[in-house]
Amino acid sequence: MTATRVLVLNSGSSSVKYQLLDMRDRSRLAVGLVERIGEETSRLKHTPLLGGGTRERTGRIPDHESALKAVAEELDRDGLGLDSPELVAIGHRVVHGGQFFTEPTVVDDAVLAEIKRLIPVAPLHNPANLTGIRTAMSLRPDLPQVAVFDTAFHTTMPESAARYAIDVKTADEHRVRRYGFHGTSHAFVSRAAAKLLGRAPEDVNVIVLHLGNGASASAVRGGKCVDTSMGLTPLEGLVMGTRSGDLDPAVIFHLARVGGLSMDEIDTLLNKRSGLVGLCGDNDMREIRRRVDDGDEQARLAFDIYIHRLKKYIGAYYAVLGRVDAVVFTAGVGENAAPVREAAVAGLEGLGLAVDPALNAERGDGARLISPADARVAVAVVPTDEELEIATQTYALVGKSG
């Protein structure tokens, strides 16, 4: 029997999201989530997709190891346990892979050490990702564990896009450069966009707008990323749910020197109390649109700032690419918020960009075009699927060994 199942784990600081896929037909066998790990109110929600319905466990799950053990027990109850010979590998989302992890990588001690070395540039994410990998290794030491990095897709950026214009020696000493994030999504979506256009990824130039709670744009030339809006950390670039995106770095000095805020307070301000939530108190685009429709001026301004930034990146990446075949919207906001898509390309007819109002308003599950039939540049909605992409990359790397 050929082993064809891949378990995908996305370990956050207090949560673990997981999916078990069968790569023969890329179907999902089970999906689930453990949240509030370490609190009294932990919860595991498990859904076997071959029938049986969602099951929930509540009550304290003290740490990631207990969380993964609980997940393994749930999978076991469905006959999908971690000891199944059909399981070929576990694929882990790792947020920061630095400059050198350009591909998915089978985890060994050296890889673990490098992910650990990157903690200073990803203090919120890499420790949790590491814990997830170590725990999975302890449960199935014989099974390949594959790290799939959010940064990998962006390692093709030329130095002109990847470097900040600061003293080179200082930058290199502290690994200060633009790494980019959401790479798994940008890779998946740019490829899916080429497919939607009926062309090979090598032949198309695409601007991908990943608009979720976190948001980033990328310029993809012939399947390779040449620029992206997030930088050293996921704070740079677009206006996000709670993050400011781009600002004059002197704002930080000003808040410290004149405002008397500590570095930690500024960090929290820019990452957690800025973006849409900072501008209008809400970070859910559904709520913001409802308020805009009710005539709320604060929500209107937040929406306008969000769109203004988005439009600037579309223009910038148009210039970076020279020729654009498609602008693609993805993630929670990009896939669902028709008014965001409409406003982002409004007035860009001179660049060959437009949306057809009826197509834009239609709801649908799959990838679809929303530009008029005669448009010079395609505008599309492509649902992202980071878990499927992680499973695909994991299986491509180790599938044949199963």
Residues that bind ligand ADP (CB under 6 A): 212-214, 241, 283-286, 331-333, 336-337
C-alpha span between 385 and 311 (Å, rounded)? 25
Phi, psi of 281 (to 5 degrees): 90, -10
C-alpha span between 197 and 326 (Å, rounded)? 9
Of 60 and 286, which has the nearer Cβ to ligand ADP? Answer: 286
Answer for the pair 17, 7: CB distance below 8 angstroms, yes or no: no
CB of 375 to ligand ADP, least distance (A): 24
- Pairing, β 205-211 against β 145-149: unpaired
Kindly state the helix (H) or strand (E) to which residue 327 belongs, with its residue range: strand 326-330
C-alpha span between 38 and 36 (Å, rounded)? 6
CB of 213 to ligand ADP, least distance (A): 4
Of 201 and 241, which has the nearer Cβ to ligand ADP? Answer: 241
CB of 207 to ligand ADP, least distance (A): 18
Whole-angstrom CA distances from 13 to 16, 44, 83, 126 are 8, 15, 26, 9
CB of 193 to ligand ADP, least distance (A): 17
Of 98 and 275, which has the nearer Cβ to ligand ADP? Answer: 275
Kindly state the helix (H) or strand (E) to which residue 10 belongs, with its residue range: strand 5-11
Nearest residue by C-beta to ligand ADP? 332
Kindly state the helix (H) or strand (E) to which residue 65 belongs, with its residue range: helix 64-77
Assess whether 150 carries a catalytic annotation.
yes
Kindly state the helix (H) or strand (E) to which residue 11 belongs, with its residue range: strand 5-11
Of 33 and 255, which has the nearer Cβ to ligand ADP? Answer: 33
Of 48 and 214, which has the nearer Cβ to ligand ADP? Answer: 214
CB of 378 to ligand ADP, least distance (A): 22
* CB neighbourhood size of 356 (10 A): 15
Answer for the pair 215, 333: CB distance below 8 angstroms, yes or no: yes
Of 298 and 336, which has the nearer Cβ to ligand ADP? Answer: 336
Q: Given 78, 150, 282, 385, which residue is catalytic?
A: 150
CB of 86 to ligand ADP, least distance (A): 29
| DSSP class per residue in 340-359 | HHHHHHTT-GGGT----HHH
Residues carrying an active site annotation: 150
